[in-house]
Structure 1
Amino acid sequence: MESLHTLLEKVTQAQELINSKRPFEGNSLIQLQKYYKCETTWASNALEGNTINLNETQMILEHGITVRGHTLKEIYECTGHGNAYDYMFEAIQKKEIDETYIKKLHYLFAKDIKDIPCPGEYRDVSKTFVTISGSEYACPDYEQVPEKMAEFIDWAHNVRSAMHPVEYAAEAHRRFVYIHPFPDGNGRVARLLMNTVLLQEHYMPVLIRPDQRNSYVKSLENGRIYPGGFDIFIAERELEQQTRFIKLLNMEVPQNIREEKSNKTKPDKCSI
């Protein structure tokens, strides 16, 4: 496994190469946004057990077609994530995150899902039994959530300029998930939050495929003791997306920034 320092050097160099082709404007920008909307929505939902596949996700998001064989909850998870994804792009220019933005992400994702009470609001006394899937650690009590989230936002403001954007995005994801402020949908909001930070800093949005779920959950769980392991996992995913995007630009990926072939399974592709 490569060190975090080495990986961050690679993603910095890869991003410099991508930035040399900026700005992305007009129809090219629209197509790229649609491309990542389809993939990130499918992957983020699939990580949580949603069975809608990539092609079906595209049909729902781009054509409003309700596919057979899926529950309304799965359909609304798809459309809700798509709405939150669109809102994410509205925050790119702000170069900051706050509680209002985080609550709006959750509201847009959860507002049509009946199983999630009070979309956009932190869990309260009626929603105290909240667990992190695959974790042996307990979430903070609901009474601690407002204080924990205020501390999270303070941390986010204070350290941003001192950290590499990819490391900062990974840490924001990890810290937010450990708080688990909402009754449900925390993982999807965490990944949207992470990608908000990356897009604000002109990096590529991270895609965590379903076949990477075990590594993702394990590194997130172990991050309480060894935070660097989760940072490395996210840096690897960033480099994967940068490499794909460089190829989409019909550019050669330099040998010195090519990612290690530790994840050989190729992701499905969403047509653009």
Structure 2
Amino acid sequence: MADYTPPFTITNTMLDCVASISEKIGKMSALKNLEAKPHLRKNNRIRSIYSSLRIEANSLSIGQVRDVISGQLVLGEQKEIQEVKNAYEAYAQISVINPYDIEELKRIHAIMTKYLVDESGCFRHGEEGVFNGEQCIFMAPPARLVPQLIDELFAWMNRVQGEVHPLILASVFHYEFVFIHPFSDGNGRMARLWHTCLLSKWKSVFQYIPIESQIEKFQDEYYNAIAKCHINGDSNVFIEFMLKQIDKILEEILLTADEQDEHVTEYVKKLLNVMEYEVPYTSTVLMEKLGLKSKETFRKNYMNPAMELQLVQMTIPEKPKSRNQRYIRR
């Protein structure tokens, strides 16, 4: 068991991605983009939860997910609402999770699947497969082998800490975990959360980087990469896929932050500070939040510049003067 090593090979593509990601993380650390923007951190955490659940066919909108997390009444399937509550509680644990501990894995799985499955917090006893919708990607190993396979995976991770780059180690774990499929339910959610946990131990900023939203955008490619690795007998394709997606999401965050830091006036910053992401507001509500009475001042100094920078958008852009018009922070 101590000598087990998951099959993978370091490629030039992986090395290029690791270098690019490291450079972007360096820029983010220097600019303190996420640390200085609590709204951005909160929005990214919501995006992570929404996207990870969406991949598993949860039908709640991102607005509904936000409302559940905020404690508001949401009309929807109780199971889906409970999934959001559980995921939020699990993600809130990231800073204290030891991702190299199997008992921690079980503890967080118990949180992630609370009230949802019978085998919550323990390994499965039945046989399972990996599915993309109705399509079976592959059948997981027999349940009797799960404890040994998980022991071997975690033993490897503990052995190579400091030797294998965290970006590659986390991707290898993600694939191997999905392949083993140790739980009766919640394996995809746990794999994505654990990927984030492993990276956050390297750089804490990963707690608030919504890797899951990037996976959701390329969900078919995500499952295709898993399927190819199963055929190839190594995790190379999946590692490269994940590294590319992480690089892309960091690029998106940096571009958004740079736009705000370099071009946004103090008026627009004040407007953005009173707006939650993806929440529609009327102009009246925003003026009240800003303590403004003049509609002209609001339009000229706040809303128009924000829309010109594409930081805020109308819900009905084809009818800018509609009585039903709302404004959303992007």
Q: TM-score range by the shorter chain?
A: 0.7 to 0.9
Alpha-carbon distance between aligned partners in 2 of 1:249 and 1:163, rounded to the nearest angstrom = 31
Give the equivalent residue in structure 1 for 2:244.
Answer: 236
Deviation at 1:245, TM superposition (A): 2.6
Give the equivalent residue in structure 1 for 2:46.
Answer: 38
Q: Is the 8 A contact 1:45 1:77 kept in 2?
A: yes
1:107-143 per-residue CA deviation (whole Å, 9 max, x = no partner) reads 1111121xx113111112xxx1311114443212211
Pair 1:129-2:130 in alignment: no
Aligned residues: percent identity?
A: 20
Q: Is the 8 A contact 1:51 1:74 kept in 2?
A: yes
Higher-RCO chain (CA-CA 8 Å, sequence separation at least 6): 1
User: What TM-score, normalized to structure 2?
Assistant: 0.68
After superposition, residues 133-152 of structure 1 pair within 5 angstroms as: 133-134=131-132, 135-152=136-153
Deviation at 1:244, TM superposition (A): 2.5
Distance 1:219 1:16, change over 3 A: same
Alpha-carbon distance between aligned partners in 1 of 2:122 and 2:160, rounded to the nearest angstrom = 26
User: What TM-score, normalized to structure 1?
Assistant: 0.81
Q: Is the 8 A contact 2:52 2:189 kept in 1?
A: yes
State how many pairs are aligned. 243
> Equivalent of 1:13, from 18, 23, 36?
23
> Equivalent of 2:90, from 81, 84, 91?
84
Q: Secondary structure at the match of 1:183?
A: coil
Alpha-carbon distance between aligned partners in 2 of 1:23 and 1:34, rounded to the nearest angstrom = 13
Q: Is the 8 A contact 1:45 1:188 kept in 2?
A: yes
Give the equivalent residue in structure 1 for 2:175.
Answer: 174
Pair 1:249-2:250 in alignment: no
> Equivalent of 1:65, from 68, 72, 82?
72
**Structure with the higher fraction of residues in strand conformation:** 2
> Equivalent of 1:101, from 101, 104, 112?
104
> Equivalent of 1:223, from 226, 229, 234?
229
1:213-249 per-residue CA deviation (whole Å, 9 max, x = no partner) reads 1001001121231522111111112112211232343
Deviation at 1:81, TM superposition (A): 0.8
The code of the aligned residue for 2:88 comes to: G
Give the equivalent residue in structure 1 for 2:266.
Answer: none
Alpha-carbon distance between aligned partners in 2 of 1:109 and 1:86, rounded to the nearest angstrom = 11
After superposition, residues 18-33 of structure 1 pair within 5 angstroms as: 18-22=28-32, 25=35, 28=36, 30-33=38-41
Give the equivalent residue in structure 1 for 2:308.
Answer: none
Q: Is the 8 A contact 1:66 1:75 kept in 2?
A: no
Alpha-carbon distance between aligned partners in 2 of 1:210 and 1:12, rounded to the nearest angstrom = 23
Q: Is the 8 A contact 2:90 2:112 kept in 1?
A: yes
Alpha-carbon distance between aligned partners in 1 of 2:103 and 2:149, rounded to the nearest angstrom = 15
Q: Moved runs in structure 1, 4+ residues, more than 6 A?
A: none
Deviation at 1:65, TM superposition (A): 2.0
Q: Is the 8 A contact 1:165 1:201 kept in 2?
A: yes
Give the equivalent residue in structure 2 for 1:117.
Answer: 118
Alpha-carbon distance between aligned partners in 2 of 1:270 and 1:97, rounded to the nearest angstrom = 35
After superposition, residues 158-237 of structure 1 pair within 5 angstroms as: 158-202=159-203, 204=206, 205=209, 206-207=211-212, 208-224=214-230, 225=232, 226-237=234-245
Q: Is the 8 A contact 2:215 2:222 kept in 1?
A: no
Deviation at 1:179, TM superposition (A): 0.9
The code of the aligned residue for 1:39 comes to: R
1:159-195 per-residue CA deviation (whole Å, 9 max, x = no partner) reads 2322222111111111111111111000000000000
Deviation at 1:10, TM superposition (A): 0.8
Alpha-carbon distance between aligned partners in 2 of 1:85 and 1:7, rounded to the nearest angstrom = 26
Distance 1:199 1:270, change over 3 A: farther
